[in-house]
A and B are shown apart, each in its own frame.
Chain A
Amino acid sequence: MSMVDFIVIGVVAGLLALAIYKIVRDKKRGVKCSGCGGCSGCPDKNLQ
C-alpha cells in the first residue's frame, strides 16, 4: 500500500463518514424521509 492508497482510502472514508453522518443525523432529528426528491410536494414538512 502506497501513500497515495492511504490518501484515497482516507478520502473515501471521509465521504462515507459524511454521508452516514447525514443519514444518522436526519434519523435522529426524526426525518423519516430518505430524500425522495418530492419535498416540494410532500405534505408532511416534519419529515424533511
Chain B
Amino acid sequence: MKIALAGNPNSGKTTLFNAITGKIEHVGNWSGVTVEKKEGDVKQSLNPRNEDLVVVDLPGAYSMSPYTSEESITRDFVQNENPDVIINIVDSTNLSRSLFFTTQLLELGIPVIIALNKSDLIDKKGNTIDVPALSDALKCPVILTSATKSSDNGMPKLIDAVITLGKSNKKQIPPNISGVKKASTKEDFEKADKKRYAFVNNVVTEVERRKVSSEKQTLQDQVDRIIAHKWLGIPIFAAIIWLVFSISQSWVGPLLADTFVGWIDMLYEGIASLLGEDVNPVVAALLLDGIIGGVGAVVGFLPLIMVLFFCLALLEDSGYMARVAIVLDRFFKKVGLSGRSIIPMIIGTGCGIPGVMATRTIKNERQRRTTAMLTPFMPCGAKLPIIALFAGVFFGDNSWVGTSMYFLGIAVIIISALIIRKITGDYSKSYFIMELPEYRLPSLKRAAISVLMRAKAFIIKAGTIILVCNAVVQILQSFNWQLQVVAENAPETSILASIASPLAVLFIPLGFGLWQFAAAAVTGFIAKENVVGTLAVCFSITNFIDVEELALVGGSTEVSTIFGISAVAGLAYLVFNLFTPPCFAAIGAMNSEMESRKWLLGAVGFQLGMGYTLAFFVYQIGTLITTGTVGSGFIGGLIAVALIAACVGYLMRKGSKGNEISAGMRSVKV
C-alpha cells in the first residue's frame, strides 16, 4: 500500500514521516526543508501484521497549482502515481490556512485521512477543535497527532485508520463546494478558489474556538517585533552568531577537542614507538605524517565542528533561522534576490551541496542561478577547520574571526548579487512571503541526531578522500622527478613543490607565495578540509590543537613561524580559501541546478576572481596598515585585479546595454 504524506510547508510532514518510519530525515522548524520526495516503510511497532506499507514524504505545498518546482513534485506524485491513501498533515494551530489544500486533495478521489498535527499545541494555546464535526464537514477521518512526541503521539491510531481505509477501496467523496468542478479557465479557477476559501472559513468557524483573537498581539508577535526588527534584527543576529562561534571555537569546542586530540596523539605515538628506529624514514613518514598526521589534523577539528552544528541545529529548531530570512530579505531584495535565497544559504552553512540543491525552490531562473552561484560563499562545515586553524594560529581570540567570516560571506553575496544583476541585465523583482513558524523549545535529541550524522559523514570523508589525498601529497613531497628520495633540507626539489611553485608565484601579491600554500589551496578543490590536511603534511605538523594549553592551536607563535607568513597573509589565505570556488562536489551540484554550462563557467570564473581580489585587498591593505608600506607583488597583483575588474565591468556594461535595448524594444512595442 502506498501512502503519500502531503500538506502545507512546516506542517510537520517530515517529523511525522520519521515518527512512522523510524527514519531520521532532516527536519527544520521552517518551511522548505524538504525539496525532494522520500520513501520509507512503516516501522514494525506500528505495523505488527507486516502489511506492505510504503510511505512517501512529499515537499510542502499550499495548493495543487504548482508555484515552485518542489510543489510540482507533490502535485505530480499525487496526481500521477496513484497512492492508495493520502495522509494530509494539517497544522492544527493554523486550520484556516491548511484546509485550502485539503479541499483540493479531497477532490482527487483518493482516500484521504487528515492528521491534525501539533495537537499538543491546541490545549497549550487554550483553543478547541471539534474533531468529529471537522471529520463530518470534510467527509474523511481526522486523527489527532503530535509527531514530535515520542509516545502518545497518535501514530498507532493513524496507521490503523490508514490500513482500514486503504483496504476498504472506497473512493473519496469530496465536500460539496459548488462550482469548483467545472473550472477550466483562469477566471473559473479564481472563482473556484474563492469558493474554497469561503468553504474553509465556514468549516473553521464551525469547528474551531480560539482563545486568543488573531487581531491581538501574541507573545510571539512581541518577540518577533524585536528579533525580526529591520534594524535590531541585524545586531541580534550578529550577537547570536558570535555566541555560536564562541561556544564552539573558544569555550566548549576546545575542551572536547582536548580529549579527542589526546587520543589521536596517543595513536600517533603508539605507532611511532611500535615502528621504532629501524623503519625506512620515507615509509614511516608516509604512515605517520601522511596518513595519521594528515587525517588526524583534520579530524582533530571534529569536536569544534560538532559543537557549532549542535548550536546551529538548536537555532534552526527553535524557529529563529526563519526570522533571519525575514531580517535579511530587504537587503537581498535590493540586489535582485529575495529572502527565498537566504534559505539555501543558511542550509549551505552545513554543506554547500544541499545548500545549492535547495535553490530549486526559487522559481525565477536568474535568481535561482545567482543563488546557486553565491551559496558556496557561506562558510560550510568543510571550511570551518580552515577558519579554526587560521584564527587559532594568527589571532588569539578566534571567535570573532569565524563570526566576521560569516558576515563577510553575507556581504560578499550581496555585492556579488548586485554585480550579477548588472551583468545579466535582469532587473526583475520578486517578493518573498514566508510563514513564520512558531517558536519552540529546541529538541536536544533532534540536534544530537543531526550532529551525529554530520560527524559520521565527516569521519567517512576523512577516511576516504582526505586519507588518499594526504597519502598522495606525502608521496609527491617525498620524491623528486627522478623518483629519488628528497633530501630533508631540500623539500623544494620534490615533485609536489615543482608542481605547486608556478602557482605559488600567482599568490605572491596575496602574501602567501609559498608552494606549500599553493598545494594546499589546490587540494582544497577536492575537499576543503584538505587545506588543513595538506598544510599539516607539508609542514610536518601532527596536530594543530594543543592538549596541554586547552587552546585551539597551542604554540600558535611556533606554528605561525613554521608557516612563515604574517598574520595578515594568514587572513588573506583564509579569505582566499573561503571565497574561491567550492569543492568539486559542490561545483557538480551547481552544474545540476544551474542547467547551463555558460552560467557554470561564469560562476567558477567569478568565484576565482572574487577570492583572488578579496585576498589581494586583505593582504595589501592589511600590510599597509600594520607596516606602513604595501606588501610584496603589489604592482603585479594590482594589474591582475584590474584585469578582473575590467572583465566584470565589460560584462556589466554589456548587460546594461542589453537591458536598455530590450527596454527600448518593449517601449516600441507599446
Contact = CB atoms under 8 A, between A and B. Distances in A.
Nearest to A20: B468
B368 to A, nearest CB: 14
- Grouping DSSP codes into helix (H, G, I), strand (E, B) and loop, the B interface class, with mixed when no group exceeds half, is helix
Contacts of B585: 32-34, 36
B278 interface: yes
Given A8-B284, A41-B351, A36 B583 contact: yes
Contact of A36 (B25, B34, B456, B457): B457
A36 B468 contact: no
Given A36-B382, A43-B354, A8 B454 contact: no
A35 to B, nearest CB: 4
B279 interface: yes
B56 interface: no
A43 B279 contact: no
B358 interface: yes
B347 interface: yes
Given A2-B278, A33-B585, A38-B454, A44 B464 contact: no
A29 interface: no
Interface in B258-300: 275-276, 278-280, 283-284, 286-287, 291
B228 interface: no
Q: Which of A35, A36, A40 has the most CB of B within 10 A?
A: A36
Interface string A3-30: 0110011011001100110110000000
A11 B350 CA distance: 34
B291 A35 contact: no
Contacts of B455: 37
B351 A19 contact: no
B467 A44 contact: no
A39 B357 CA distance: 12
B510 interface: no
A43 B291 contact: no
Contact of A39 (B280, B457, B527): B457
Nearest to A9: B283
Interface string B371-407: 0000000001110000000000000000000000000
Given A19-B463, A23-B464, A34-B461, A42 B280 contact: no
A34 B583 contact: yes
Interface string B570-614: 000000000000011110110000000000000000000000000
Contacts of B351: 36-38, 41-42
Given A32-B585, A32-B588, A43-B354, A37 B287 contact: no
A15 B40 CA distance: 34
A7 to B, nearest CB: 9
B468 A16 contact: yes
A41 B313 CA distance: 10
B464 A22 contact: yes
A38 B465 contact: no
Contact of B354 (A5, A8, A41): A41
A38 B457 contact: yes
Contacts of B350: 37-38, 40-41
B35 interface: yes
B458 interface: yes
Interface residues of A, number: 30
A4 to B, nearest CB: 5
B344 to A, nearest CB: 10
Interface residues of B, number: 54
Contacts, number: 129
A7 B314 CA distance: 47
Given A11-B287, A15-B467, A45-B38, A40 B583 contact: no
Contacts of B275: 4, 8
B467 A19 contact: yes
Contacts of B286: 8, 12
B631 interface: no
Nearest to A21: B464
Nearest to B28: A41
Contacts of A37: 305, 350-351, 381-382, 454-455, 457-458, 461
B450 interface: yes
A5 B283 contact: yes
B380 A36 contact: yes
Q: Which of A1, A4, A39, A46 has the most CB of B within 10 A?
A: A39
A34 B585 CA distance: 6
Contact of B357 (A1, A11, A20, A44): A44
B380 A38 contact: yes
A35 B464 contact: yes
B120 interface: no
B357 A19 contact: no
A32 B279 CA distance: 39
B244 interface: no
B352 interface: yes
Given A1-B280, A42-B353, A35 B460 contact: yes
B453 A19 contact: no
Contact of B287 (A8, A32, A33, A47): A8
A35 B284 contact: no
B210 interface: no
Contact of A35 (B465, B584, B588): B465
B568 interface: no
B26 A42 contact: yes
Contacts of A35: 457-458, 460-461, 464-465
B471 interface: yes
Nearest to A3: B278
B38 to A, nearest CB: 6
A42 B465 contact: no
A16 B279 contact: no
Contacts of A5: 279-280, 283
A37 to B, nearest CB: 4
Contacts of B588: 32
B461 A36 contact: yes
B353 A36 contact: yes
B583 A39 contact: no
B468 A43 contact: no
**Pairs A-B, 3 closest by C-beta atoms:** A38-B351, A35-B461, A36-B351
25 contacts: A4-B275, A4-B279, A5-B283, A16-B471, A19-B463, A19-B468, A22-B464, A23-B464, A32-B588, A34-B465, A35-B464, A36-B353, A36-B354, A36-B380, A36-B583, A37-B305, A37-B381, A38-B353, A38-B380, A40-B350, A40-B453, A41-B350, A42-B353, A43-B357, A44-B354
